[in-house]
Amino acid sequence: MKFALVHRRFTTNGGTERYLVGLARFLVGQGHEVTVLCNEVREDLRAEPGVRFVHLPMWRPVKALSLALSVFRALRSERYDGILGLGRHWGHTVYRAGGGSHVDYLRRAHPIRRWLSPGDWLDSLLDRLAVRSARVCIANSELGAAGLRSDHGAPRVEVIYNGVDLQRFRPDPEVRRAVREELGADGRVAIFVGNGFVRKGLDVAIAALPAGWTLWVVGGDPPVPAPPSVRFLGSRRDPERFLQAADVMILPTRYDPFANVCLEALACGIPALTTRANGASEVVPEPWMVCEAVEEFRAAFARVTPDLGPACRRAAEAFTPERSYRRALALLSETSS
């Protein structure tokens, strides 16, 4: 079959982008014709086997709107059996809303900004157009699906949880020893991974850190005032090394349809502590790993023991990328024109 995949960028920097590249490779491997419509292609991916690229012009001052119009024009010029969109455009047969509902995001994470920003009004409008024009929407959690239904009246939403690279993210005692030696860690270590420290709840993570623990912060935001037990490691291309070396991952996010780092932590054999405002809370193996207040997170730290590693790993093993891609292919085939 002839499929089109639509997103702004074809790269591996970012969860949606990695999903796009992985899905394109999977579809090619299944014998399908794949066209990727995008504005940017990372240079080393331009010769991706079996993938044809169509450039989407984008006018920088109004990027979201101009890209959506470019998508609409490009999709009208050629016939495809199925079209999967990964951004706020319209004209898809299947829309994967990896970021959930923009209205829900604003309501939970930025309750004041939702009334003030013209850009957010536009994003919400484009979000609604993308949802309502697709035959089926994919959400990566029940949390994300609920927002799409309540905010945009999505006629059909299928929940397909994200997958995790189980080879890249896995327990590795040698890496653990090396990283802990490199960073001088001789006690218990928690790790926070993510950009956007305010939304991701770094303040809660710092406040919940028990005495005697160290917190590693991996993310590109500027460091914030914190006690000496908190170490800012900056943005890293190899977060798996630090997850493998930590004892627990903490992400007290105020909104995430599905934070991939939770599955990545579980795959590395460490517990993932997060909130109900994170769709990934639906897949953690123990209910006490889902917390809300600082006191709950602090109490959860006391339950972290090394013997939890196998259970965490088993929980992650149920969520392979191929499982997610196969379900997306089934929806594309079902809705083919």
Confidence band (pLDDT; 50, 70, 90) for 310? very high
Strand 272-274 vs strand 213-218: parallel, antiparallel, or unpaired?
unpaired
Confidence band (pLDDT; 50, 70, 90) for 15? confident
Which tens digit of pLDDT belongs to each residue from 64-110?
Answer: 889 999 998 999 889 999 999 999 998 999 999 999 999 999 988 87
Place of tokens 């093993």: 317
pLDDT for the residue 337: 62
> Taking each helix axis from N to C terminus, what angle separates 309-317 and 260-267, rounded to the nearest 10 degrees?
130
Which tens digit of pLDDT belongs to each residue from 258-278?
Answer: 999 999 999 999 999 999 999
pLDDT for the residue 61: 67
| Helical segments of the chain, H only | 15-29, 63-76, 102-109, 118-133, 142-152, 173-183, 197-200, 202-208, 239-245, 260-267, 294-301, 309-317, 321-334
8 A C-beta contact, residue 282 and residue 250: no
Comparing CA positions, the residue from 265, 233, 226 lying closest to residue 249 is: 265
pLDDT for the residue 142: 98
Q: What is the mean pLDDT of the chain?
A: 94
Place of tokens 């903490």: 250
Grouping H, G, I as helix, E, B as strand and the rest as coil, residue 289 is helix
The percent of residues above 70 in pLDDT, for the chain, comes to 98
Task: Tell me if the pTM is above 0.85.
Answer: yes
Which tens digit of pLDDT belongs to each residue from 189-242?
Answer: 999 999 999 999 999 999 999 999 999 999 999 999 999 999 999 999 899 999
Which tens digit of pLDDT belongs to each residue from 108-147?
Answer: 887 666 566 888 888 899 999 999 999 999 999 999 999 9
Q: Which residue type sits at 317?
A: E
The structural domains of the chain, ordered by start, are 2-163+320-334 (3.40.50.2000), 173-317 (3.40.50.2000)
Which tens digit of pLDDT belongs to each residue from 281-309?
Answer: 999 999 999 999 999 999 999 999 999 99
| Helical segments of 184-308, H only | 197-200, 202-208, 239-245, 260-267, 294-301
Task: Give the up-direction half-sphere exposure of residue 332: CA atoms within 13 A in the CB hemisphere.
Answer: 25
CA 93 and chain centroid, separation? 22
pLDDT for the residue 78: 92
Grouping H, G, I as helix, E, B as strand and the rest as coil, residue 45 is helix
pLDDT for the residue 121: 87
Q: How much is the average pLDDT of 253-261?
A: 96
Place of tokens 């850190």: 209
At residue 157's C-alpha, the angle toward residues 152 and 159, to 5°, is 130
Q: How much is the average pLDDT of 311-333?
A: 97
Which tens digit of pLDDT belongs to each residue from 156-184?
Answer: 999 999 999 999 999 999 999 999 999 99
Q: How far, in Å, CA of 294 to CA of 207, rounded?
A: 7
pLDDT for the residue 151: 93
